[in-house]
Structure 1
């Protein structure tokens, strides 16, 4: 294994427009490569170090889906159950449609949202955190927005399409977090800590930071095209309330921490020291292809050609379409700040890539990173 091309790639992107980047590669449960370069704080020229906490944004979705799948394993709910069996506010939903003359109408949905639709982004929701009902719940709760209250507010908004008929990246997993709360009875963050991060000894992963952890939070940037440089832009716009534990984008973590969780999934649901977070059957269910050919037309992001969508993750289904060196069945997801998870049970490979830049250059960085890494491994 020669990882020099991978380190050279990290050097090239951090000399380009990304303030810092780090990659950790695990093979057969051993760390075979870890490399970082760049400045965590551009203003102070502070080099990136190994304990920095970042917003992992949508990589939260992987953990949220694992949390919910644990309840499926226990028989507490089924993927084909109607969502309204647990969250009654979703009993009667309406679909917004635009007629040929431009008139916008609302019609009663003909079929229910099912639990599986939350996992697979086929419920019909949008990602509009500025919708009237969302703004209202922020006001009514004095800026707290408990996770359960968020879901109840979203239920008042019209759907974009009939549940199960299309794919749209949306607030599905934020509702899934509320579903976990209702079915299990614990607050979502408590469930995550007691069932997943605690057993895996992930001390730096959660929805809130201690004072010491706050001191390790990496500054966040966005690249300003007019100025030709990154500028500081801290905060997480998806965390719209002090009590809102966003199952879609709310977690903070470190490279060292989150790779423990990812590697457990690579190992078919069990960590190297025997902590089981899912069964092998559930991991394979998670990385199955849930989109029909027609619905896959909606899943059209450039960097995900050759992939389909599973239960909260991309899953590799066509090497001819992707041009990727990773095998079929490789799965994972990414986050708004540019982090990337790669889980490959067949190759026994886990990768955690991190950066903290909001306009993240994902279509350029992620496919290249993946191909370089697989070539370096020689698998």
Structure 2
């Protein structure tokens, strides 16, 4: 089939060999980097229908003038305005980037509801767990340098406390279960295998977070809450060579019983804080220095940091907590515009006092949480996403990470190719957006394996994560699109519906 390349480039004729399938021709001949604008197809000579070729080009990840329909995006803007008006959200800054170009950036709502101060596009948000993909990428940059392998045991880098011989696994409460839980009296069994680097990157190490202080759903969380003494409570005991407190934290964490034998279940956990400690050990730099020099600086994430300088303090919005609605019944019916507000029917209350001071204090030692300590703007995070979608290069074409490594870390790394729900025995107790079918987990990212089961419009292979204050991002490697959504609401319910509704609007607005 004679085929002329894009008329927007200086080209030469490309002919499809008779012994090559059209699928292989598209895969091997057409450069993915070329943004195809128009093809001239001499139809009389075509061996394959134009409609088929167009479809194959779309499937191969190549796009023709992909844009967002303005009317459809205006409807999304109206929806976000409505959530602010109903006090379901205090604010929202949303950025959609396609092929590295910002197609939508909008701020709505308030940085401080009480004062009426409006939010701005350059607001600096508490990213909380959206720190995790960044720190996971930082660790995998050291993997590219040959400093570790994914099967390496943690004790090789963190010391003997992390040997299986020195670790235990929770086996149940002693005596009467309720009494054992109350007194934190429990049995353990020996740890059967050493925790590996892959397991801390995938939350399959047996660690936890302490989000269930009762221990009724995640038993070891009660033990964490009652017996674990975080080094941040006693900064005077931190060694001079541990300004991030990460070494001291890992020593304390290793003393906690594991929730399960390593590699047998998935549980959201402090694992990415361990990854932050590993970045320091393997690089010889503190986590904040490594991120500043190797990630934030090269990518252009100018406001990303563990600290908030005094001259930027007024750019951090207030933090709020979700308040469940009253008088809402399971049989209530929603019609018309009420369906736009549903299911975010609760309100919010200001909890900013106490959630700001730690960021404003640049002194060390200070706990630099790789799992939840970073700040940044929507633009900062969009640049991080664009780097990943561009195959590891920044806006200037400078290499940050290899494209094959990005493909590797955003593929399923759960044992035996299992889905996430195959490894989560009690999803109702998971403090994350992953407690649903249709997904898997890579090295620091959740991954969509089935859009139908996940209930998320988009592409198979989308990778994502969110933060405790209802921040969200996802990257679509087929559309070469990233979406970053920032607000500040702790405990937002239901936790995954903001992403689902954003996807409904954005994918509905895509035009090629």
TM-score of the superposed pair, with normalisation by structure 1: 0.93
Distance 1:97 1:20, change over 3 A: same
Distance 1:278 1:120, change over 3 A: same
Equivalent residues of 1:55, 1:236 under 8 A apart: no
1:123 paired to 2:188: no
The aligned runs of 1:1-379 (5 Å cut-off) are: 1-2=68-69, 3-16=73-86, 17-88=88-159, 89-91=161-163, 92-98=166-172, 102=177, 104-128=186-210, 131=225, 134-135=228-229, 137-142=231-236, 146-225=245-324, 229-234=347-352, 235-236=354-355, 243-291=366-414, 292-293=417-418, 296-299=421-424, 300=427, 301=433, 304-361=436-493, 362-378=495-511
SS state of the match for residue 266, structure 2? coil
Distance 1:186 1:348, change over 3 A: same
Equivalent residues of 1:306, 1:316 under 8 A apart: yes
Cα distance in 1 between the residues matched to 2:80 and 2:324 = 21
Post-superposition offset of 1:360: 2.2
Structure 1: runs of 5 or more not aligned: none
CA-based RMSD: 2.4
Cα distance in 1 between the residues matched to 2:271 and 2:321 = 26
Cα distance in 2 between the residues matched to 1:51 and 1:64 = 22
| Per-residue CA distance 1:160-192 (angstroms, 9 max, x = gap) | 110011000000000110011111110011010
Post-superposition offset of 1:303: 6.8
Cα distance in 2 between the residues matched to 1:326 and 1:147 = 37
SS state of the match for residue 128, structure 1? coil
| Per-residue CA distance 1:15-64 (angstroms, 9 max, x = gap) | 23111112111111111111221111100111111221110000000101
Distance 1:320 1:169, change over 3 A: same
Cα distance in 1 between the residues matched to 2:399 and 2:483 = 20
In the alignment of these two chains, the number of paired residues is 378
Distance 1:18 1:298, change over 3 A: farther
Which range is displaced more, 253-262 or 131-140? 131-140
| Per-residue CA distance 1:298-323 (angstroms, 9 max, x = gap) | 45457743221111111010122123
Equivalent residues of 1:20, 1:39 under 8 A apart: yes
Which range is displaced more, 164-173 or 92-101? 92-101
Equivalent residues of 1:94, 1:107 under 8 A apart: yes
Which range is displaced more, 338-347 or 220-229? 220-229
Cα distance in 1 between the residues matched to 2:190 and 2:355 = 34
Cα distance in 1 between the residues matched to 2:419 and 2:379 = 39
Distance 1:154 1:328, change over 3 A: same
Cα distance in 2 between the residues matched to 1:226 and 1:322 = 26
Equivalent residues of 1:303, 1:367 under 8 A apart: no
Equivalent residues of 1:5, 1:376 under 8 A apart: no
Post-superposition offset of 1:99: 6.8
Post-superposition offset of 1:242: 5.5
Question: Which is higher, the Rg of structure 1 or of structure 2?
Answer: 2
Distance 1:14 1:139, change over 3 A: closer
Which range is displaced more, 57-66 or 266-275? 266-275
- 2:48 is aligned to none
SS state of the match for residue 333, structure 1? strand
| Per-residue CA distance 1:194-252 (angstroms, 9 max, x = gap) | 10001122221000111112222111111334797422112459x79961110100001
Cα distance in 2 between the residues matched to 1:189 and 1:197 = 10
Post-superposition offset of 1:151: 1.0
Cα distance in 2 between the residues matched to 1:184 and 1:57 = 23
Which range is displaced more, 329-338 or 3-12? 3-12
Which range is displaced more, 124-133 or 278-287? 124-133
Equivalent residues of 2:231, 2:245 under 8 A apart: no
Which range is displaced more, 296-305 or 143-152? 296-305
